[in-house]
Amino acid sequence: MKTLIPIFADQLSRDLPPLSISEPEDSVILMMEVRGEATSVAHHRKKLVFLFSAMRHFADDLRSRGWTVDYVTLDDADNSQSFEGEMKRALDRHDIDQIRVCEPSEYDVLERVKTWEGDLGKPATIMPDSRFLATKEEFAEWADGRKQYRMEYFYRDMRRKTGLLMDGDDPEGGQWNFDKDNRKPAKADLFMPKPKRFDPDDITQDVIDMVTREFPNRFGDIDDFFYGVTRDDALYVLDYFVEHGLERFGDYQDAMLTDEPFLYHSLLSLYLNAGLLAPLEICRAVEAAYKDGKAPINATEGYIRQIIGWREYVRGIYWLRMPDYVSENALGATRTLPDFYWTGDTDMHCLSQSIGQTKEHAYAHHIQRLMITGNFALLIGADPKLVHEWYLAVYIDAFEWVELPNSLGMSQFADGGLLGSKPYASSGSYINRMSNYCGDCHYNVKDRTGPKACPFNSLYWHFIDRNKDTLKGNNRMSMIYRNLEKMDEGVRKDILETAEAFLDDLTPATSDYM
Ligand code: FAD
Ligand code: SF4
């Protein structure tokens, strides 16, 4: 019985379910680089390099373990450039009896894969993705009957389930959450670890050349690619983070500093989401560092919460709410993103830093995504679907299941408050508190009106004012609405006019940077 096993770009795990139950001598693995996926949005060129190179290395890794891998490169003249076309061609090339596939991480791709058995005329088994801690069904059961899906409660269940940072039935250190000890603003003179760099080998260099050739106008710098592309590289980055970053991860998790794109962040999401690392092995390594006295509880708990809490939780929400989730727009926002989201060319220093490093590295850390680019898009009333497509395109770790709830839900409030009980909207003062960006800015963070006024300030009140019908009833917003009502009418008018003038001046993105 010959089995065809297609493996997608984010399924680069040796213990992928179809591999675990198949024998190398009875199987052909199919790996495909297809234009249909590479052009679904304007994926950053470094993201394409990372994924294609990691796929090619994974194919070699599997071959060295005795598997037969049929690999179709993007520039293969016969490539049909779609998964379905390549499945058909593979069935013509090999004498196949059945298909085994791990369920794709994206809703639309899963829907397509479900049609394969009928369309391709071979029995096809879709196996659940076992690389998450909570199954879709477990999450749906947890969510069933709840009025609010509070991540914190889901996270506690995941702690109990995994035993991570548990002291019998109680949380280690007597508390579930040590966030009150986290989130200090960073100082520029702190010693920050530089990210671990990997020189491109011949395989990666070939991919860099191909992506440069195939996508000459595509968004994202391609020079100086330093990310790892194998499981060994990913394990090295994990060790490096545990050794050099973890201790201060909690303290400076929300901090932002000019020309410091990475601070104490782990840069592990790309490897984790592509399947080169498993969530539990990361968390066990972090927990071991705590037990060895190398990291404090606030950093350890905060880090583990991101992985077994937030990451699993957003996946649960994605599968619970798709396919309608992608079209939600609770605030009725319709504006096109400004052109500087693709160029970084703006006088707003916080945005030019966050977008500039995104263009350079395909990376920004959480608070830059949430409180700089996300916050600004929210304040100007950008169409959440366009915002979602931007985030999906520009980050090296972006796959729809994790990106969509974060961008459309958490950052744009387009789901009406499923992920956050109030919008993550802020004026310049939050940015000033958590970063040193404002000191280097053309604008003055203290001003709300006038030519040098920080745009976040007037836009914040414009956002609050224009969404009052939707947000005023939200308990967590009542103080803000009281402040708006108390505001002097003339001042309020000036602020709103300042915001209107700023909005009128924005240049919408004219190209999709494909
Ligand atoms: P660290 O700061 O070191 O965090 C550790 C790990 O925790 C990450 O590697 C990640 O796996 C996990 N994590 C932390 N926060 C989240 C979260 N909110 N949701 C899911 N996992 C989380 N993360 C992605 O993996 N892919 C995305 O496409 C993505 N898009 C985002 C879009 C927006 C608007 C926002 C606000 C957040 C997004 N995130 C996304 C979450 C988070 O920003 C990234 O996981 C993180 O910045 C990755 O960098 P790191 O590995 O250095 O993370
Ligand atoms: Fe950003 Fe305003 Fe600060 Fe400038 S002053 S960096 S625009 S928050």
Residue 460 in contact with ligand 2 by CB distance below 6 A: no
The whole-number pLDDT of residue 512 equals 67
Residues 151 and 103 grouped into a single domain:
no
Sheet (strand 3-7) strand order: 68-72, 27-32, 3-7, 98-102, 124-127
Going by alpha carbons, the residue nearest to atom 9 of ligand 1 is 269
Residue nearest to atom 18 of ligand 1 (CA): 310
171 and 96 inside one domain: no
> Rounded to an integer, what distance in angstroms lies between the CA atom of residue 58 and that of residue 497?
56
CATH number at 272 reads 1.25.40.80
Q: Is residue 156 domain-shared with residue 294, that is, in the same domain? A: yes
What DSSP character marks residue 305? I
C-alpha distances out from residue 37 to 84, 94, 151, 230, 511, Å: 12, 24, 31, 22, 19
Last residue of a domain, one of 268, 288, 321: 321
Q: Identify whether 239 is part of a domain.
A: no
User: Residues 368, 393: one domain?
Assistant: yes
Query: Which ligand approaches the C-alpha of residue 457 most closely?
Result: 2
Position 207 in a domain: no
Asked whether residue 233 is assigned to any structural domain, the reply reads no
* DSSP class of 102: E
- Verify that 148 and 290 share a domain, yes or no: yes
Q: Which atom of ligand 1 is nearest to the CA of 266?
A: 3
pTM of the model: 0.98
Same domain, 171 and 316: yes
Domain match, 176 and 263 both: yes
Ligand nearest to the CA of 348: 2
Q: Is residue 34 part of a domain?
A: yes
The total number of structural domains that make up the chain: 3
Task: Indicate if ligand 2 lies below 6 Å from the C-beta of 453.
Answer: no
If asked whether residues 58 and 39 sit together in one domain, one would say yes
Q: Are 85 and 154 in the same domain? A: no
C-alpha distances in Å from residue 312, one per residue of 220, 307, 461: 29, 7, 34
288/306 same-domain check: yes
Q: 351 in a domain, yes or no?
A: yes
Answer yes or no: is 280 within a domain: yes
Encode the chain (514 residues) as per-residue pLDDT tens digits.
Answer: 999 999 999 999 999 999 999 999 999 999 999 999 999 999 999 999 999 999 999 999 999 999 999 999 999 999 999 999 999 999 999 999 999 999 999 999 999 999 999 999 999 999 999 999 999 999 999 999 888 889 999 999 999 999 999 999 999 999 999 988 888 887 877 788 899 999 999 999 999 999 999 999 999 999 999 999 999 999 999 999 999 999 999 999 999 999 999 999 999 999 999 999 999 999 999 999 999 999 999 999 999 999 999 999 999 999 999 999 999 999 999 999 999 999 999 999 999 999 999 999 999 999 999 999 999 999 999 999 999 999 999 999 999 999 999 999 999 999 999 888 899 999 999 999 999 999 999 999 999 999 999 999 999 999 999 999 999 999 999 999 999 999 999 999 999 999 999 999 999 998 767 7
Of 87, 104, 105, the residue nearest 96 (C-alpha):
87
Q: 364 alpha carbon to ligand 1 midpoint, in Å?
A: 9
Q: Does residue 209 belong to any structural domain of this protein?
A: no
Assembly ipTM? 0.99
Phi, psi torsion values for 495, nearest 5 degrees: -65, -45
Residue where a domain terminates, one of 291, 321, 351: 321
pLDDT given for residue 189 in this prediction: 76
CATH number of residue 42's parent domain: 3.40.50.620
Q: Tell me: do 109 and 154 sit in the same domain.
A: no
Domain region containing 408: 340-505
C-alpha 241 to ligand 1 mean position (Å): 15
Residue nearest to atom 7 of ligand 2 (CA): 348
Residue type, 194: K
Q: How far apart are alpha carbons 403 and 391 in whole angstroms? A: 7
Q: Residue 333 and residue 341: Cα distance in Å, rounded?
A: 17
One DSSP character per residue, 451-474 reads TTB-HHHHHHHHHHHHTHHHHTT-
Give the CATH number, domain containing residue 456. Answer: 1.10.579.10
Asked if residue 142 belongs to a domain, the reply is yes
165 lines ligand 1 (CB under 6 A): no
Among 104, 127, 150, identify where a domain stops. 127
Whether residue 398 is found in the same domain as residue 276: no
Give the three-state DSSP class for 368.
Answer: helix
CA distance 57 to 429: 46
